[in-house]
Amino acid sequence: MRRPTLLGAFGVVVLLGAGCGIPAVSDVRVDGKGGAATGAGVVNGGVSEPPTRTASGSVNEAFVRNFLSAAAGEPDRAYERVKAFIAPEHKHRLQEKKGSEVALNVVRLREAVYTLNSDSTTTVKITVQQIGVLRANGTLAPPVATDTEYEFGLRSAALNGGANDERAGLYVLDPPNVLLLSDVALRQYYQTESIYFWSSDRSRLVPDQRYRPQALPDERRVNEVVKWLVGGPSDWLRPGVVGLPDRTELINNATGGNGRWEVNLDMSGDDQNGIDQLIKQIAWSLGDLPGKLELKIRNNALPVQDLNERRESYELYPNAVVPQRFGVYEGAIHPLDFGTELSGAVPLVPEANRNIVSADLALAGEQRVLAAMVVTSSGGSRRRLAVGTGTAPVSVDSRSPAEYSSMSRPVWLRAVDTRPGRGLVVADGQLYRFDEAAKMYPVPLNLPSDVTAVAAALDGQRVALIVGGRLYVAAVNSDGGGVSIGPPRELSTSLTNLTAVDWGREDQLVVAGSAGQPAIYEISVDGALETPLRTDLGAKVNHLTAYPTNRSVRTPSGAYMYEANGVAYRSSPFERIEPASVRGIPPVPSGVRPSNPSAPFFLY
C-alpha cells in the first residue's frame, strides 16, 4: 500500500474542496492493487463463492476487494450478490439485466483512493484497466466500457445512528451502474476450461477458452459444457472453426450422476461421421471428466460411450513429441546440450546450415521435417527466407525472391495430415504467409501499425501477433487449402511496448515487454490472467520461444528460451546458455572470447 505525505494529501483535498464541496478536513488513503478477497465460502477444500458483505467488517480496503468479487459465480444470481453490498436506499441505481444479457465488466485494479468525509462516509475512487466482458456463456469478450475510473461511497451499516458496530459491516453508496469483477476474483472464483470446435476444414479440434464458476455443482458441469458447444465458438475464433449444425438445441438439461451423463440434442445432419465427430468434441470438451456418455439425437439413443476411451482414441496433437533444444552459433544451427534432455542431430544437410539468423524446424509425422530459416545475404545486411522439407537431413533449395531489411523468426502452421507445409513470417513490418517453395504472400490485417512478431499455436489454427507494441490473437482459416487470418482481437495486458511472443500452453501465451522494466509474463489467450515469469531481465527481449504444454506430451510447463542484449537464456532452471552447451563446435582457443549462442528454439 502506498500513502502520500500528509501535506500532499491535505493539499489536494483543500484544492478540490474549494470548488467541489469536499470538506477540507479529510483523510485520504491510497491503496495499491487489491489482493485476494476476504472470507470466501469453502467447498470441497477450495474457494468457490465470493465473501458476503459482512465478511470484511468495517475495513474499507477489504470491503472494496470483496465488492469487486461479489458478482462472481452463476450469472443468474450476480445482481443479487452485488446488491447485497449496496445500501438499501441506493439499490435502484444498479439496473438489472436478465438471462444471457448478464455480463460482468472484468477490470484490473490499478489504484484505490479513500477519502474520509465529514459525515463519516468514505469516498472511494478506483483506477482500473478494462480487460473484457465476461458473458453468461463463459466467454470473455473484448471490453465495451472505456472508463478508467469509478467513484462510489461507503457508509457504516450500523442502524439508527448508534455506535458503529463493526460486525454490521459497510454499505456501498452511489454504486456504478455496471457489474464489476476484478481480475483477482476471476482467477479465484472461476475455473478456466477449454472446450473444442472442429477446424474450418474439420481436420482437428481447436480449443476455445471459457470460465466456469467454481460454485457450479459437478453434476451441472456437463450441461454447461454442452450449452457452450451449442452456442458456438468465441467471436474471435469463429473464422477458423465450425460450430454445431444450425438450429441445434439442447432438449431439456443434460443430466446424470454416478459417472453416467445423458445429453439429448435436436440436431440436423446426424450422419455417422458427424455423430462420431460430435462425440469426440464433447469428450474432449469435458476435460478429464470420467464416466459414460449417453448421447441422444431427437430422443433416439446412440450407443453409450466411455469418455476416457473416446479421448484416448483421438489425439488432439498427434505429431507432438518431446522437444529438443537448438540454437544458432556463428551462423549455423547446433543442438543445445544440458545433460538431462533429449538432444538430436541437426536435420539439415551441412551446406544448408550456414548464414542463419533464426529458424523454425518442425516435425510433420515420423519422417518429415519442415525447415524455415532466416538467412543473411548481400554482405549480411539483408534477410531472405530459406525453406526446405523432406526426410532428414533436409536440403534447402528454395529462397524468397525478395530481400528484406528485417525479418522475424518464421513459424510453421502445424497440420495433422500430409498437406504441403505453410507458415507465417514478418518482414519489414508486414505479415506474410509462405509455402514450401519459399514464396511469400502478404496477409492483410487492417491494423494501423507495423507487425513485429508472430507465433502459431500447436493446433495450427490460432496465432498471436505483436502489432505496434500491442498483443493480438487471431484465428486461422485453412479451408480449401489456403490460409487466411480472421480479424485480430487486441488483448488488454499490464505489459507495454511488447517485443516478443510465443504459445506456452493451449490457453496461455509467453510474452515479453515492459512492466516498468523489461519482463516476461504468462498471459491468458484473452488477456485476463497474468503471471510474471521474470521481471529482472535488465534488457529488452528480441527473441522468445516456448514449448507449448499440451495433452499429448506430458512435460513440465514453463519451458521457454529467450535472447536479450545478445545473450540467450533458458528457463527451468533459469540460466544463461553458454558456448559450453552448444554441441558440435570446436574448442575456443585460449585468450579468444567465444561467440554467444543466439536465437534458441525447440524442435518438436
- Reported as a single tens digit per residue, the pLDDT across 476-525 is 998 766 789 999 999 999 999 999 999 999 999 999 999 999 999 999 99
Out of 61-70, 445-454, 549-558, pick the least confident.
Answer: 549-558
DSSP 8-class letter at 385: E
Highest mean pLDDT (candidates 293-297, 338-342, 477-481): 293-297
**Residue 392 confidence class, pLDDT cut points 50, 70, 90:** very high
Q: Is the pLDDT of residue 161 over 60?
A: no
Q: How would you label 15-36 residue by residue, b for 16+ Cβ within 10 Å and e otherwise?
A: eeeeeeebeeebebbebebbee
pLDDT at residue 513 in the model: 98
pLDDT at residue 480 in the model: 66
Q: Look-up: residue for cell 533444444?
A: 325
Higher pLDDT, residue 553 or 534: 534
**Residue 270 confidence class, pLDDT cut points 50, 70, 90:** low
pLDDT at residue 488 in the model: 98
Q: Look-up: residue for cell 463519516?
A: 120
Q: Is the pLDDT of residue 40 over 60?
A: no
pLDDT at residue 32 in the model: 54
pLDDT at residue 326 in the model: 97
pLDDT at residue 158 in the model: 85
pLDDT at residue 23 in the model: 37
CATH top-level class of 324-603: mainly beta
Closest residue by Cα to residue 335 from 322, 320, 347: 347
Residue 220 sits at the vertex; the CA angle it makes with 215 and 226, to the nearest 5 degrees, is: 120
What is the Rg, in whole angstroms, of the alpha carbon atoms belonging to the chain?
A: 27
pLDDT at residue 370 in the model: 96
Paired residues of 334 in beta bridges: 327
Closest residue by Cα to residue 359 from 319, 329, 318, 391: 329
Distance CA 309, CA 313 (A): 6
Mean pLDDT score of the chain, rounded to an integer?
89
pLDDT at residue 22 in the model: 36
Distance CA 251, CA 78 (A): 26
pLDDT at residue 75 in the model: 93
Q: Look-up: residue for cell 489504484?
A: 111
pLDDT at residue 422 in the model: 94
DSSP 8-class letter at 98: -
User: What's CA 40's distance to the chain center, in Å?
Assistant: 26
Torsion of CA 486, 491, 495, 497, to 10 degrees: 40
pLDDT at residue 44 in the model: 40
pLDDT at residue 16 in the model: 29
pLDDT at residue 377 in the model: 84
Q: What are phi and psi of 239, to 5 degrees?
A: -65, -15
**Residue 557 confidence class, pLDDT cut points 50, 70, 90:** low
pLDDT at residue 160 in the model: 44
CATH 2.120.10.30 occupies which residues in the chain? Answer: 324-603
Closest residue by Cα to residue 583 from 421, 344, 401, 403: 344
Residues above pLDDT 90, as percent of the chain: 76
